[in-house]
Amino acid sequence: MRNEPESLLTLSDLTQRDRIQILQSEYSALRAEIVARTGFGFQTAAVALAGITWMMQQSLTGRSFLFWLVMAFVGLCFLIAIFVNARDLSRAAFRIKEIEHEINSRAGEHLLIWETLGGVVTRMSLTRSFFSMVRTLPRSKLPPLDPKFLQQEAIVAERKRNQAASN
């Protein structure tokens, strides 16, 4: 868990199952974000290619300066769109990997493993992934689970029992 004060955890009625469900909601939303951003990347490429194709078909006799100016502008817009999309894809993928680890640690077993074992963005750069075969890692490469979530829950449950017994 993060740095929650012990008193807040003792006051909370959330169970480990509730926390996992909340994290699962964020996980699902980020997965949808990745799918949407991947589609956006392909749309951006299609628009850029259509723009370049259109420009190549225009009669630019005596206006080569205009041609290169427009091509530079289209290229810059394309690069900015790709950069922003890749940046946001990367942020979502790394957060999904964190959520997988936290959910798995809270559950006490490896349940969510896709981004950890098969994620491209969290294992290598996007540029490298274009030129290499990306294979899913074997389960033996899964990181060890973090026991602090289950230990914290046991501590909080013990404190609640002690408070109930003293009242």
Q: Domain extents for the chain?
A: 14-166
Tell me the C-alpha to C-alpha distance, in Å, between residue 65 and each of 48, 51, 55, 71, 125: 20, 17, 13, 10, 36
pTM: 0.80
Each residue of 34-79: pLDDT tens digit? 999 989 888 988 888 888 788 777 766 677 777 788 788 888 988 8
Given the structure tokens 């230990």, which residue do they identify?
Answer: 151
Instruction: Report whether pLDDT(18) > 70.
Output: yes
- The C-alpha angle 85, 89, 94, rounded to 5 degrees, equals 155
Give the tokens for residue 73.
């502008």
- Average pLDDT over every residue of 7-23: 84
